[in-house]
Copies of this chain bind each other. A is one copy, B any other.
Amino acid sequence: MGVGGATMDERVPRDFETLRATILDRRASLPKRIAQIAAYALDNPDDIAFGTAASIAASAGVQPSTLIRFAQQLGFDGFTSLQQVFRERLRERNSSYDERLAALRAKAEDGGGHRAIFDGFVAAASTSLGDISRSLNDAHFEEAVALLAKAETIYVLAKRRSYPVASYIAYALGKLKIRNQLVESAAGLNAEMIGFATPRDAVIAISFSPYAPATIEETRSIAEQGVPIVAITDSSFSPLAQFAKVWFEVAEADFGGFRSISATMALAMALTVAVGEKRREAGRRRKG
């Protein structure tokens, strides 16, 4: 008691930046071994996030107890709570928008006005774009483009929430003068339409959970005819994945129960234009 007052009053740093500032601030006044572990922590934050007290202590050349004393001097009640801050940092780097989204959600819920709803959808869209940009596999993309580029006719298959994407693809393919067929249900002739597809054609199928049964059924049926399928869906466990030659997993963030579709849209646009590009290349080669 008594002397320790200064330490006890202090608030515990809850985010990495504050923690870092605190450490740098006190650096001069820290005892030797504590300073040693402090330096190590700032230099190797990932090790702190994942290591055990013993392993970190060993790497830093100190005793586990020193590590705990270090945490306690910063106001944490032990190594474990210090470690939380380092872990949080890694999570946030991956999805910096997630927190913002949660805040907006809260704001929208307790009557932050309608602007909050708009902000929420913008944030959800940004998050989704960030995710897909990280996770898209180049090789899969190339494969899909190659597969679609050599198709005689591209069939586009999607219902309900995914339908807007399909209609965009159909529009863009048309613009690029690529023969395509949007499988719509207006006249109930989908089965017949699908029947015309051959292995020389290709399909883009899009469906997200809860998967529209019609989309699944039609995809199965067209796959059985030997037509190669490119699927855009939300989980590798999607029923679409099993029928597809190539599939893309797109994780869309949601806001107020409505999922974004911007990542899917961006992927769809890219696929379409890349297919156009590839055909142009092929055309040039034939002529030249």
Contacts and interface: CB of A to CB of B under 8 A. Distances in A.
A42 interface: yes
A285 interface: no
Please give the count of copies of this chain that the complex contains: 2
Nearest to A39: B237
A228 to B, nearest CB: 18
A132 interface: yes
B42 A235 contact: yes
A93 B91 contact: no
Most buried by B among A113, A129, A236, A270: A270
B129 A261 contact: no
A142 B118 contact: no
Interface in A128-179: 129-130, 132-134, 136, 138, 141-142, 145, 160-161, 163-165, 167-168, 171-172
A218 interface: no
Interface of A: 20, 23-24, 27-28, 35, 38-39, 42-43, 46, 50, 87, 90-91, 93-94, 96-97, 100-101, 104, 113-115, 117-122, 125-126, 129-130, 132-134, 136, 138, 141-142, 145, 160-161, 163-165, 167-168, 171-172, 186, 235-237, 241-242, 251, 255-256, 258, 260-262, 265-267, 269-270, 272-274, 277-278
A164 B162 CA distance: 10
B118 A270 contact: yes
A145 B27 contact: no
A117 to B, nearest CB: 5
A114 B236 contact: no
A72 to B, nearest CB: 20
A150 to B, nearest CB: 14
5 contacts: A23-B236, A27-B236, A117-B270, A122-B266, A255-B269
